[in-house]
Amino acid sequence: MDPRNLEKQSEPEEPRYLDFKHLPENTERDGVPALNKFSSTLTKGHDFPGAQAMLYAAGVPSKDMMKNAPQVGIASVWWEGNPCNMHLLDLGKEIKKKCMGDGMLAWQYNTIGVSDGITMGGEGMRFSLQTREIIADSIETVTCAQHHDACVAIPGCDKNMPGVIMAFARHNRPSIMVYGGSIKPGYSDALRKKINISTCYEAHGAYLYKSLKSSEEGKFSADEIMEDIEQHACPGAGACGGMYTANTMSTAIEAMGLSLPNSSTTPAESPEKMRECAKAARAIRTCMEQDITPRKLLTKASFENALVVMMALGGSTNAVLHLLAMAGTANVPLTLDDFQRVSNKVPFIADLAPSGKHLVADLFDIGGMPSVMKVLVAAGLLDGTIPTVTGKTLAENIEPYPSLPQDQTMIRPLANPIKATGHIEILRGNLAPDGAVAKITGKEGLKFTGKAMVFNKEHELDEALNAGLIPHGENLVLVVRYEGPKGGPGMPEQLKASAAIMGAGLTNVALITDGRYSGASHGFIVGHICPEAAVGGPIAVVKPGDIITIDAEKNSIDMDVSAEEVERRLGEWVRPKRTVTRGVLAKYARLVGDASHGAMTDLF
C-alpha cells in the first residue's frame, strides 16, 4: 500500500462527553445553588436505596450529610516506587480532611503512573505516554460513575498533569489541580556541586567515553563517581527538579488558572505544600458555588498564557504534545503554528536546567511562579484577566506576591534575555511535511548540517553509544525512527541517548527522531517528526550518508534528496510488521493519532 494514500488525520469535532443533562430538580435550595447537583441523583429521596446504603457504609456520617453535602472526588496519581508520586497519598489525605471539615464529603482514589526516570532507555518507557490517556480515562470514569460534584486531582510526574486536565475537560465539573511539587536538589561529593536526575544520564555519557572526572581528579574512580551520583541525585519526594516536563506542565497549568497561586513552584516536601492542600479544599467549594468549570477556564486565552510561560522558562518539547491534547479535548483550536507564533515574540529568560544551572526549588526561593508571572503580565505578554479556580483573575491572584528580587540572576530581564525569542521551533520540510518540534536555546547555534547515521530503534543508537561508535569530528545527524506514537509503539522519550551525547561532548552531533525527548534533554535535538516512519513518513526512507540540514532561522528540516528520489524511495518502502500485536500497547497503537495533533486517542 502506498503510504501517501493513507487517510489524513481528521480535525476534531465538538467533544461529546457525557454531560448529565437530566439533573435533579433540587439544584437550588433557598434561592442558593445546591452544591450537590450531581451526587443528589443518588442521594435524594429513595430512588437509589442501594447506593445510599453503600455510601453510609463507606463513611457518610449522617442523613443530613447524605442529603445535602456535595461529594468531592480526590484523585491522586499516587503509587510507591517513584519519588514524583510517592507522597501524593498524604497530600490527598490532607485535602480530604479539610474538605470534610468544611461540610463536604470527600472520596479519595488514585490512578496509575509510570516512572520515566526508571524506565528511561528501556522497553518500559513505551508504556509512559499512554498513561496520560489512562489517567484521563480513570478520573473521567470515577467522577461520572460515582456522580461526584467536583474533583481535586493531585499529579506528580509529567504525563500526570495533562492527564488530569484532559479528564477535567471531559467531565467538566468544578475541578482544581494540586501539583505534587518539585524535588530538592541533590549534592555530589565527588563532583562538589548540586546534581539532579539529568546528571545521572549525562555522567553516563562521559563514563562511556572515559571522560568522567571528579572535581579532585584521581580521588574518585569513574565507578565511584557514578555510584555517588546515583545515590544522591534524588534526595526525597518530588518531581524532577529542572524545567523538565513535569515542571513545564505545572507552570503552564498555573498560568491557565487551573491551580492555586504558586502550586507549580512550591517544593514537594515543604510546609507550604501542605498549606496549599487546605487552600485547595476552600477553593473547590468556591468553584462549586460560583460554577467555575474547567471548560470555562480552558480557553484560547488561557492556552496562550501556557505557551508564553513555556517559552519564557525554556520548557520541555513534551509540552507541545500535551497542550495540543489538552486543547483538543476541550475543543479549543490550537495548532503547531500557535507555538511558533508565540515563540517568535516571547524571549527565553530563565536560567533553569536542563540548559541552565538552577532548579525549580531555587525559583521558589525568589518568589516562585507568581513573581515570574508579574513580570510577564506587566510586559503585556501574559493575560492577567483570565478567570481562575480561586474565583479571581490571574492578575488578582498574583498581586499579593512580591516582585522578583533586584539582585537575583535566575530570571533575566526581558530586555536582556538568554535568547531574544523562544527556544521551541516548529520545523517543516521534506523530512517533516506535517511538522517537527525542535528545542534550540541558541547555545548550540541555529543551523546544523551533517551526514545521516540511521537507527531503526532507540536501542540501536544506545548500543552504538555504549560501544563508543559515534565518533567526534565530522558533523553527523543521528536519525532514530520507528519510535513514533504508532511505531514505538508509545513514542518513548530518548533522554538516555541525548544525555549521553551531551555527557560525551559530542558537539558534532545532532539528533532527530519521530519519537520524543525528556524535558531534561538538551542539545541540537528535533523530535515529533511527522508523519512518523511507521505510517510511511519520509523519515522512513532516509539512507545513511544523506545530507540533512536543520535550520532554526528558516524553520526547516530537509534531506538533500530530490523530490523525485523521495517519491521513488517511498514507492519501494515496505511497512514493517507490528512489533506488538496484543495488550495495551497494541490497543494504543491502533487508537493513537499523530504527534502534530497531540497523540490523542479520542480524536475520532
Q: Count up the domains in the chain and report the number.
A: 4
CA-angle at 323, arms to 448 and 270, nearest 5° = 100
Eight-state DSSP code of residue 451: E
Q: Are residues 529 and 468 part of one domain? A: yes
In a domain, 284, yes or no: yes
Cell of 239: 518531581
Omega prior to 489 cis, within 30 of 0: yes
Mean pLDDT of the region 371-399: 98
Q: Which of 262, 198, 258, 281 is nearest to 233 (CA)?
A: 198
**pLDDT, tens only, 44-103:** 999 999 999 999 999 999 999 999 999 999 999 999 999 999 999 999 999 999 999 999
Q: Which helix (H) or strand (E) holds 202?
A: helix 197-208
**pLDDT, tens only, 182-207:** 999 999 999 999 999 989 988 988 89
Q: Are residues 212 and 108 part of one domain? A: no
* Residue predicted with more confidence, 52 or 5: 52
pLDDT at 5: 39
In a domain, 7, yes or no: no
Cβ contacts of 229-232, under 8 Å, gap ≥ 24: 229/188, 229/190, 229/191, 229/195, 229/199, 229/200, 229/203, 230/200, 232/186, 232/187, 232/188, 232/189, 232/195
Confidence of residue 1 (pLDDT cuts 50, 70, 90): very low
Residue type, 430: N
Is 399 a residue whose pLDDT tops 50? Answer: yes
Q: Residues 493, 499, 502, 503: what is their CA dihedral angle, to the nearest 10 degrees?
A: -170
In a domain, 374, yes or no: yes
Confidence of residue 523 (pLDDT cuts 50, 70, 90): confident
DSSP notation for 393-423 = BHHHHHTTSPPPPTT--SB--TTS-SBSS-S
3-class secondary-structure state, position 264: coil
Q: Are residues 164 and 209 part of one domain? A: no
CA-angle at 305, arms to 13 and 425, nearest 5° = 80
Q: Are residues 204 and 331 part of one domain? A: no
Q: Are residues 202 and 60 part of one domain? A: no
Burial 218-228 (b: 16+ CB within 10 A, else e): eebebeebbeb
**Contact between residue 82 and residue 115 where contact means Cβ atoms under 8 Å apart:** yes
Question: How far from 467 is each of 423, 460, 486, 505, CA to CA, in Å?
Answer: 32, 11, 29, 15
**Would strands 71-76 and 447-455 be described as parallel, antiparallel, or unpaired?**
unpaired
Among 197, 232, 267, residue at a domain's last position: 232
In a domain, 81, yes or no: yes
Is 336 a residue whose pLDDT tops 60? Answer: yes
Omega prior to 400 cis, within 30 of 0: no
**pLDDT, tens only, 468-492:** 999 999 999 999 999 999 999 999 9
pLDDT at 26: 53
pLDDT at 9: 42
Query: Please, which residues bridge with residue 350 across strands?
Result: 411
A 10 A CB-CB count for 5 gives 7
pLDDT at 10: 46
Q: Residues 449, 451, 456, 462: what is their CA dihedral angle, to the nearest 10 degrees?
A: -80
In a domain, 342, yes or no: yes
Catalytic residue among 198, 259, 518, 521: 518
**pLDDT, tens only, 98-127:** 999 999 999 999 999 999 999 988 899 999
**Would strands 71-76 and 175-177 be described as parallel, antiparallel, or unpaired?**
unpaired
Confidence of residue 4 (pLDDT cuts 50, 70, 90): very low
In a domain, 210, yes or no: yes
Cα distance between residue 292 and residue 294, in whole Å: 7
Angle, helices 458-466/197-208, rounded to nearest 10 degrees = 60
pLDDT at 375: 98
Question: How far from 96 is each of 135, 268, 279, 284, CA to CA, in Å?
Answer: 20, 18, 12, 12
pLDDT at 31: 57
3-class secondary-structure state, position 593: coil
Q: Are residues 534 and 435 part of one domain? A: yes
Q: Which of 133, 131, 171 is nearest to 151 (CA)?
A: 171
In a domain, 172, yes or no: yes
Residues above pLDDT 70, as percent of the chain: 95
115 counts as catalytic: no
Provide the mean pLDDT of the chain: 93
Residue type, 547: I
Mean pLDDT of the region 152-158: 96
Query: In which residue are the cell numbers 489512562 written?
Result: 134
Question: How far from 215 is each of 3, 190, 192, 273, 353, CA to CA, in Å?
Answer: 53, 6, 6, 35, 20
Q: What is the CATH number of the domain that holds 504?
A: 3.50.30.80
Q: Which helix (H) or strand (E) holds 465?
A: helix 458-466
**Helix ranges, 233-317 (H):** 245-255, 271-289, 294-297, 300-313
Is 365 a residue whose pLDDT tops 50? Answer: yes
Is 598 a residue whose pLDDT tops 90? Answer: yes
pLDDT at 590: 95
Mean pLDDT of the region 414-421: 95
Omega prior to 531 cis, within 30 of 0: yes
pLDDT at 215: 83
Q: Are residues 292 and 281 part of one domain? A: yes
In a domain, 404, yes or no: no
Among 381, 398, 415, residue at a domain's last position: 398
pLDDT at 496: 83
pLDDT at 14: 65
Q: What is the CATH number of the domain that holds 298?
A: 3.40.50.2300
Confidence of residue 544 (pLDDT cuts 50, 70, 90): very high
Q: Are residues 582 and 537 part of one domain? A: yes
Query: In which residue are the cell numbers 563532583 written?
Result: 191
**pLDDT, tens only, 231-282:** 999 999 999 999 999 999 999 999 999 999 999 999 999 999 999 999 999 9
Q: Are residues 580 and 562 part of one domain? A: yes
Q: Are residues 94 and 49 part of one domain? A: no
Is 308 a residue whose pLDDT tops 90? Answer: yes
Query: Please, which residues bridge with residue 424 across strands?
Result: 439
Cα distance between residue 285 and residue 27, in whole Å: 15
Query: In which residue are the cell numbers 504527534 written?
Result: 595
Question: How far from 197 is each of 77, 116, 194, 443, CA to CA, in Å?
Answer: 21, 11, 11, 22
**Domain range spanning residue 525?**
425-597
**Contact between residue 99 and residue 501 where contact means Cβ atoms under 8 Å apart:** no
pLDDT at 19: 73
**Contact between residue 394 and residue 305 where contact means Cβ atoms under 8 Å apart:** yes
Among 232, 262, 297, residue at a domain's last position: 232
Q: Are residues 55 and 179 part of one domain? A: no
**pLDDT, tens only, 282-307:** 999 999 999 999 999 999 999 999 99
Q: Which of 169, 175, 149 is nearest to 23 (CA)?
A: 149
Cell of 542: 532516509
pLDDT at 136: 98
Q: Are residues 536 and 490 part of one domain? A: yes
